[in-house]
Chains A and B, each alone.
Chain A
């Protein structure tokens, strides 16, 4: 090895050690565990081939949780794209923008548990202000989180409130990169604001939109904290997610590490498939 290579690897060593031990090894170890009947405390685990995976084909709770997770991901994508974008367009210029930006960003600095507790209290069916004001507007009070029709939508609402600030910052950075003179030229040609949004802003934001969608989808498939705090997966199994099911299989009921690892790899495969699909769909025509 040359001197420079030795120096380079000396610099890399601490980080690569951290990465190898806590990222790379667990990835492979998880794959191995998924082919075994490992449990907490079981000293001699056995190789059981694909049995954990075939059992997942019959595990109806897993199917429900996979469906719920996919539903959440798809249903939340449009609001997650649109709400921060609308705010970013409004806050790109104008008065008080620094103050307003930090207001909308603030919820993102809170932990998921804090967010969950705040909304739990706000949405309390009896004494929460949300239902009180709705009643004043003539909407009957309901237990938004205890009703299977509304529970997942309520979780989406809280999540939009929580993460909008983060995507707002990303959109604002993207808007800064769009050359001003494009809008001036469009205005001279008589284009309306709406027209230049569709013809200039949206196409030039495509890489940012791609980033937001992919980040959001990877995060959504791992939905856990909001559900854990707000509904516990209920009512029934209406908001149970894959990670919650995995958490329960591995750390609450019977500590089935093998079965939970199989779930983890199915989830990984689904996330990868979705990400590839999105890259294909959104990347295609980015040249400008």
Chain B
């Protein structure tokens, strides 16, 4: 206890300074992407590296968003990703909330089996389902469609969503529901008027998780989409790279920077 306030302070200041330095280093790859995307082409490969793009140019953004005839347009891919991610969030929230409610609150034959199957399925690696999922999607005629991306992405998250929401529903007090039931409300009214409004924080957390997962998935859209106008962002970006190869990093980095933007 002799160290006194100043000693403690000094070491914690040193730690904060070290962490700040590490944080700057940690963000530098992202900063480099943004800086590159704003530089005119000749400045991009100039050494030593220049970290301030002056004067900045919007040319690369213009090219990937509107101009390029070489690849799927990043602007279009952005819209595709938005549609797919939003659609799968809605599907996941609806199906997993509806499934989690009876699993948390009702007694019925098969309940424990259903729950065990869902939790067990969390151990299934997505890559293992790739081929049969492709065959199925082809048979449904869903390749290169929004539903061919939304439904499988939602199915990947569904079991996790049920697990998360069931845990949350089980901690909610039963009194409000019981009162509503006595007043003559049916199970659907209890679910939609009481359970769902009281679960907004956990539903929001699940929505963010599902959005990120669908927005960033790469492997499934890589095989399930073969029309350039239907590519979501990660696939369009990967192809942007081969379209420009090493000739110019500017448009590639503009695409990469744009893909980082979201909600």
- A, B: real partners: yes
Q: Which residues of A contact B (CB under 8 A)?
A: 1-2, 4-5, 7-9, 11-12, 14-16, 18-19, 21-27, 29-30, 33, 38, 90-91, 94-96, 100, 103-104, 106-107, 109-114, 117-122, 126-127, 129, 132, 161, 218, 221-222, 224-225, 228-229, 242-243, 246-247, 250-251, 257, 260-261, 264-265, 267-268, 271-272, 275
Question: Which residues from chain B contact A7 at a C-beta distance below 8 Å?
Answer: 102, 106, 187
Assembled-state Cα–Cα distance A26/B235 (Å) = 23
Decide if B132 touches A118 in the complex (CB within 8 Å). no
- B119 CB to nearest chain A CB (Å): 12
B114 touches A12 (CB 8 A): yes
Candidates B106, B123, B158, B262; contact of A4 at CB < 8 Å: B106
Taking the closest CB of chain A, its distance from the CB of B246, in whole angstroms, is 8
Residues of A within 8 A of B134 (CB): 250-251
Residues of B that sit less than 8 Å from A by CB = 12, 15-16, 19-20, 23, 26-27, 29-30, 32-33, 36, 44-45, 47-49, 91, 94-96, 98-99, 101-103, 106-109, 111, 114, 117-118, 121, 123-136, 151-152, 154-155, 158-159, 162, 187, 191, 212, 215-216, 218-219, 222-223, 233-235, 237-238, 241, 249, 252-253, 255-256, 259-260, 262
Inter-chain contact A272/B123, CB cutoff 8 Å: yes
Counting residue pairs across A and B whose Cβ atoms lie within 8 Å, the total is: 231
Which label, helix, strand, loop or mixed, suits the secondary structure of the B interface? Answer: helix
Which listed residue, A95, A100, A110, A246, touches B23 by the CB 8 Å rule? A100
Measured between alpha carbons, how far is A91 from B212 in the docked complex, in Å? Answer: 24
Give the residues in chain B near A94, CB-CB below 8 Å: 12, 15-16, 19
With contact pairs A104-B26, A264-B127 given, residues A23 and B135 touching in the complex (Cβ less than 8 Å): no
Judging by beta carbons under 8 Å apart, are B30 and A118 in contact? yes
- Among B26, B127, B158, B259, the residue within 8 A (CB) of A110 is B259
Check B253–A23 contact: CB distance below 8 A: no
A118→B33 contact, CB < 8 A: yes
B125-A221 in contact (CB<8A): yes
> What are 23 A-B contacts defined by CB distance under 8 Å?
A7-B187, A8-B108, A15-B99, A19-B159, A22-B151, A23-B121, A23-B129, A96-B19, A107-B29, A111-B259, A122-B29, A126-B45, A132-B49, A161-B29, A222-B125, A243-B127, A250-B134, A251-B223, A264-B127, A267-B127, A267-B128, A268-B125, A275-B123
Is the CB–CB distance between A23 and B123 below 8 Å?
no
Whether A18 touches B154, Cβ cut-off 8 Å, given contacts A26-B129, A30-B131, A111-B216, is yes
Given A111-B216, A229-B238, A33 and B135 contact (CB-CB distance below 8 Å): yes
Q: With contacts A5-B108, A33-B131 known, is A96 near B16, CB below 8 A? A: yes
A228 near B238 with CB under 8 A, answer: yes
